[in-house]
Amino acid sequence: MTTVEVRHHAMRIGGRDVDTSERHPILDPNDGSVAATVSIGGIEHVDAAVAAAKETFESGVWSAIPPQERALVMRRIAAAARAVADELIELELSANGATIRQATGFHIGYALAHFEYFADLAESYEWQRAAPISTFPALSQSVVHREPIGVVGAIAPFNFPLLLALWKVGPALAAGNSVVVKPDERTPLSMLEFARIAERAGLPPGVLNVVTGTGQVAGAHLAGHPDIGKIAFTGSTQVGREIMRLASGTVKQVTLELGGKGPTIVLDDADLDMAVDGVLFGCFVYSGQVCVSGTRALVPARLHDQFVERLVARAKTIVLGDTRDFDTDMGPVIGANQQARILEYVRDAESSGATIELGGHQPEGERFERGFWVSPTILSGVRDDMPIAREEVFGPVLVVIAYDDDDEAVAIANDSEYGLAASIWSTDNARALAIAARIQSGNVWINDAHQINCQVPFGGYKQSGLGRELGPNALDGYTEVKTVQLDLSAGRTAKPFGILLGHAD
C-alpha cells in the first residue's frame, strides 16, 4: 500500500519559518483525508509576529518608501503568485472543499486581481490634500495627510481564505502598514504560501506575518493586542461582537464583515427561467457557505407552487462529486460539525411545519460516505419566524417564502438583523430600482448574484458589519488622518492670542 506524504506547514514570522511541537491536521472536506498539517501558534507567537511587524514598520523599509515603489512590489507579488496559481488552487480546495472551478475563478482568480487593484490604489490614492487658505482666525494653509496606521491585524475566515485575507492585507500594504494575519485554523495553507511568495518577490521580511492557531487563543490575543492599531475581521456576527469588545480595550480601528441572510426577491414580472437559475446560483455557490448567499427566496404567492416546482427540477441537475473534477458543480461543506449543524436546522424546520421539497440529507452513494456532504436542499412552507428563515445556516439550504405584494416582499426582506446582500429579479428596471432603494442592505444586485466588484465598496447594514472593504476608498480604513497647519501671518499676532493677552486690535 502506497503511503502519501503529508506536507507540514510552519508559520511565517519575521521572514522565518516558525514551527511548534503541536500540529493541527488539515482535513480535505472532499473525502475527510488529512491533506496537510500546520503549526498551532499561541499567544507567544502572536507577540513575536506583532513585534516583528512593529520593528519592520518603524524601520521604514516598507512604510517610508514612496507609494509607487510599494505598488511595483505588489504587482511583482501578484505576478509571482499567478505563476504558481495551480499550486494555490490546490492548497485552497484541499482545505476548504471548493470545487476546482470555484477555486480557480473566485478563490484565487479574484484574490490576485483584487490584490493588483490595491496596488493601483497605492499610486492613485490622495495621500495629501491641500485645504483652502484660511483667513480666520489667522492666515494659514492646512494640508491633510493620509499616513499608515502601523501594525494591522487581519483575521480571515475559512470560506475564501486567500481572497478575504487579501481584502485586508492588500490595502494595508498599499498604505505602508505591516501586517499580522491569523487565518482560520482549518484553511491557512494558501495564505501561508502567499506570504512566502511575497517575500521572494521583494516584500521585506517582517512586513507580512502569518500566525496559525485557534480563534479563541491566537485570534483573541491579536484582536486585543496593544501594539495593533487596526483589526480587520471577516466571520460570524457572534465572533465579530467579541472582536469589537477586545479591540475596545485600546480603542483601535475596526472593520468587520459579518453574517448575512440574503433575501432574493422574485417579482411577478420576472423572467422565470432566468430567475430560477439566478436563485439557485445565489444560494448554492460554494455549497451556500458564502456570507452573501441568497438563502431566502421571496416569491409571489400566485407563482409560488410553479416556481418551487421549477426550482426543484433545475436543482436536481446540480452535479455533486470530486472537487477536482471540472464537471462538478457543488462540493462538500467545511467539516463534520457544520454538516451536522445544517441538517439539524432542516430537521427543526420540518418539525415546525416546513416541507422538504428536495434534499435535506447527506447524498446517497459510496462516494459521499467520506467527506462532509449535504445535498442541495429546498424548503417550502417556511414562515418568517422560523430559525431557518432568520439565522445564518451557512450551507446549501434554500427557503421559499410567499408574499402578496411588493410592500410585503420589502418588509420580509428587511425583517432581519442582517443586511449584507440582496437580489431582485424583474424585467422592469425602474420597478426593481425602486425596490432596491427600500432594501436595507449594503449590496443589492438586480438580475444577478455574487457580483463582487473590487471597484465599489463592499459591506453590510445592521449586524452584517462595520465599515467597508474594496472600492476607491479602501485605503481609508488603513490610514490615519493628520492635518498640518502652516501659519502665513508673517509674525503678526493672531487674533485669538491677542484676545487671550488682552490686546486684541
Q: How many CB atoms lie within 10 A of CB 407?
A: 11
Q: 41, 11 in Cβ contact below 8 A?
A: yes
Cα separations (Å) of 158 from 229, 234, 468? Answer: 24, 10, 20
Rounded to an integer, what distance in angstroms lies between the CA atom of residue 319 and that of residue 80?
Answer: 34
Sign of CA dihedral 463, 469, 473, 476: positive
Per annotation, catalytic residue among 242, 291, 357, 469 = 291
Q: Is 291 a catalytic residue?
A: yes
Q: 171, 477 in Cβ contact below 8 A?
A: yes
Q: Is 257 a catalytic residue?
A: yes
E strands of 113-159, at which residues? 128-130, 140-148, 151-155
Rounded to an integer, what distance in angstroms lies between the CA atom of residue 308 and that of residue 302?
Answer: 11
- Return the bridge partners of 11, or none: 18
E strands of 331-374, at which residues? 355-358
Q: 213, 182 in Cβ contact below 8 A?
A: yes
Longest dimension (CA), the chain: 97
Q: What angle do CA 413, 419, 425 make, to 5 degrees?
A: 50
121 Cβ contact partners less than 8 Å away, ≥ 6 residues apart = 171, 174, 472, 474, 475
Cell of 437: 432603494
Q: 345, 388 in Cβ contact below 8 A?
A: yes
Beta strands across the sheet bearing 151-155 = 16-18, 11-13, 208-210, 178-182, 151-155, 230-234, 253-257, 465-466
Per annotation, catalytic residue among 257, 357, 392, 469 = 257
Q: How many CB atoms lie within 10 A of CB 221?
A: 23
417 Cβ contact partners less than 8 Å away, ≥ 6 residues apart = 237, 261, 390, 462, 463
Q: What letter represents residue 99's amino acid?
A: T
Q: Is 32 exposed, middle or buried (0-12, 13-18, 19+ CB in 10 A)?
A: middle
Rounded to an integer, what distance in angstroms lies between the CA atom of residue 15 and that of residue 37?
Answer: 20
Residues marked active site are found at: 257, 291
